[in-house]
Amino acid sequence: MLLRMSTLLLRTLREDPADAEVPSHRLLLRAGYVRRAAPGGYTWLPLGKLVLDRITEVVRDELVAIGDQEVHFPALLPAEPYRTSGRWTEYGDLLFTLADRRGAEHLLAPTHEEMAALLVKDLFTSYRDFPVTLFQVQTKFRDEARPRAGVLRGREFLMKDAYSFDLDEAGLRDAYARHRAAYRRIFDRLGLDYTVVHAMSGAMGGSASEEFLATTPVGEDTYVGCTACDYAANTEAVVTRAPATGDPTAQPPVEVHDTPETPTIASLVELANARRLGDRDGWTAADTLKNVVLAVRQPGADRTEPLVIGLPGDREVDLKRVEAALHPAQVAVFEEWAEHPELVRGYIGPQLLDKLGVRYLVDPRVVAGSAWLTGANEPGRHATDVVCGRDFTPDGTIEAAEVRAGDPCPTCDDGELTIRRGIEIGHIFQLGRRFTDAFAVDVLGPAGKPVRPTMGCYGIGVSRAVAAIAEQHHDDRGLVWPAAIAPCDVHLVVAGKGPQLDAALELGGRLAAAGLRVLVDDRTHVSAGVKFTDAELIGIPRAVVVGRRLADGYVELRERAGDGRSELPLEGLVDRLV
């Protein structure tokens, strides 16, 4: 492949665009990888598209290697399956919905669990057909509350999503482990520095879920890592153990109570009071961390009414700060709550809900992350009438202040938890049977009885990864792409008005014929200085300058990372670079 700058759809920018707040966004715009086309929507220019495709290829390569099969679902879907699964309403404002010319409701898919489950139901009939994993690389649509930082958080973005189907838990665990390992290989190949963090605590139903967070201060996810061991968890999912004075292994007994058909604030509070669940006993830092907004949904109702409830206890809470961060809809409820002064010194948390025997799922409008995926219809966790989220901030992020650095590490004796930030580049889930239950996906089992497959789902933000890599691989002069995903392998800079142009094009032709991707800066009305600046901005790993020394048969090789420079004979150069 040989690209010529003289004709390439590319305009580099000297100045930082005013609205670009993070380095990756600034550089991807300035170096001509993307252009903003719509709110939360970006056009990929030729160089950007090359990077996107290379990332896609790495992802595809590793998934095909573990036996996943590529499909492609429609993005425009009828509402019905999403109504059946409950996500038509659970997704809330995040969902882009539209009607066709006959008035039938549709959506632009934010993710495709429903489609995967229906496809397997459609085609597979016997246990012999399993296990199977499907994946696709597709544009997803989410009406994000705050599209941010260019392709980092778009309303339209490229995701790789995969769905595994197994007949039993052991199979699901295997599929999950396989994808976890493949994800490590993928992110290693992409040159990303990342941490795998627990995405939810056991209290959310016990299903495993982990996020891959690219470490960078501009990340929106806050997580904690141990100073002594490799424990890391999203702040939503920290498992804390009892203070040092108590027995760290002691778990409070879990008692399941019948909850009223439709829990109300009063009935929940009554239960809580009866159990004295707000007392210091059993109230861990995790409960504080997981401040929850509770919402009660009438069975069958479309809307969820969020409300905040508190429990008797001895913890002080900064009510003003909480109130300031509430969603408007919650403020009214907050006032209702304030009418119960006897109740409130802390908040109810998922573990306490478990102890109350209250069944719940997580409301995606309230909570950051996708923990809600596993909430409903898990074995032993059927009712969906109480919804809880753990954040108070309107955009669903957790304020770092709520995590208490210093808290002891839950898994080792030596470490403490420190707060870090990252960009969520991948997310893997053991989903369970939520979707196969919803669509009654049954196949014939070995003993002639029907069996219902259990699912895992595995996502990678392909377009987000471009930004995450740029975030980790740049300097003050521009991008510094890892070789594995750079748009080109070699950037040929023509520096001279004489025979350099012909020599560079000839060299470029030979490099391309040898299988390299080559960008030649063959512009004639641009100074060598500008070309060097652009080459550094664009960030291709190796530049070859065809300049003055051509007369002696030499060119200069410049390494973008580390700034290495060397003079090399033109002769034999192709072999050297391949």
Q: Which parts of 385-424 interact with Mg ion (CB under 5 A)?
A: 424
Q: Which parts of 454-473 interact with ligand ATP (CB under 6 A)?
A: 459, 461, 463-464
Handedness of CA 215, 219, 225, 228 (dihedral sign): positive
536 in Cβ contact with 560 (< 8 Å): yes
| Token digits of residue 254 | 């879990």
234 in Cβ contact with 369 (< 8 Å): yes
Shortest distance, position 369 Cβ to ligand ATP, whole Å: 5
SS3 category, 138: strand
Report if residue 153 touches ligand ATP, rule: CB under 6 A: yes
Of the candidate spans 153-161, 250-258, 414-422, 472-480, the one that interacts with ligand ATP by CB under 6 A turns out to be 153-161
209 binds, among ligand ATP, Mg ion, none (CB under 5 to 8 A by kind): none
Distance separating alpha carbons of residues 12 and 301, to the nearest angstrom: 52
Q: Which parts of 252-291 interact with ligand ATP (CB under 6 A)?
A: none
Q: 3-state secondary structure string, 265-301?
A: HHHHHHHHHHHCCCCCCCCCHHHHHCCCEEEECCCCC
Instruction: Give the residues across from 225 on adjacent strands.
Output: 232, 418
E strand or H helix at 419: strand 417-432
Report if residue 369 touches ligand ATP, rule: CB under 6 A: yes
Q: Which parts of 413-452 interact with ligand ATP (CB under 6 A)?
A: 424-427
Q: Which residue, 52 or 368, has its beta carbon nearer to ligand ATP?
A: 368
Q: Which residue, 225 or 369, has its beta carbon nearer to ligand ATP?
A: 369
198 in Cβ contact with 237 (< 8 Å): yes
- Neighbour count for residue 502 (Cβ, 10 Å): 13
Q: Which residue, 19 or 336, has its beta carbon nearer to ligand ATP?
A: 19
Q: Which residue, 153 or 558, has its beta carbon nearer to ligand ATP?
A: 153
Shortest distance, position 89 Cβ to ligand ATP, whole Å: 17
Q: Which residue, 4 or 148, has its beta carbon nearer to Mg ion?
A: 148
Q: Which parts of 155-184 interact with ligand ATP (CB under 6 A)?
A: 157, 159
Using the rule CB under 5 A, which residue among 370, 377, 463, 472 binds Mg ion?
370
Using the rule CB under 6 A, which residue among 144, 236, 378, 402 binds ligand ATP?
144
426 binds, among Mg ion, ligand ATP, none (CB under 5 to 8 A by kind): ligand ATP
Q: Which residue, 370 or 454, has its beta carbon nearer to Mg ion?
A: 370
Of the candidate spans 129-137, 185-193, 286-294, 364-372, the one that interacts with ligand ATP by CB under 6 A turns out to be 364-372
Report if residue 369 touches Mg ion, rule: CB under 5 A: yes
Shortest distance, position 459 Cβ to ligand ATP, whole Å: 3
DSSP state of 399: P
351 in Cβ contact with 284 (< 8 Å): yes
Q: What is the CA radius of gyration of the chain?
A: 27
Report if residue 327 touches Mg ion, rule: CB under 5 A: no
Q: In what order do the strands lie in the sheet with 386-389?
A: 305-307, 293-296, 386-389, 361-362
Shortest distance, position 222 Cβ to Mg ion, whole Å: 11
Q: Which residue has the tokens 């070995």?
A: 446
Shortest distance, position 39 Cβ to Mg ion, whole Å: 16
Distance separating alpha carbons of residues 237 and 252, to the nearest angstrom: 18
Shortest distance, position 441 Cβ to ligand ATP, whole Å: 21
Q: Which residue, 144 or 534, has its beta carbon nearer to Mg ion?
A: 144
Distance separating alpha carbons of residues 124 and 122, to the nearest angstrom: 6
Report if residue 389 touches ligand ATP, rule: CB under 6 A: no
3-class SS shares of the chain: helix, strand, coil, % to 5:
30, 25, 40
Shortest distance, position 507 Cβ to ligand ATP, whole Å: 39
SS3 category, 321: helix
How many helices and strands, by DSSP H and E, does the chain display? 16, 30
Quick one: CA torsion of 74, 79, 85, 89, rounded to 10 degrees?
A: 120
Shortest distance, position 69 Cβ to ligand ATP, whole Å: 19
Q: Which residues bind ligand ATP (CB under 6 A)?
A: 111, 142, 144, 153-154, 157, 159, 368-370, 424-427, 459, 461, 463-464
- Which residues sit at the interface with Mg ion, rule CB under 5 A? 369-370, 424, 427
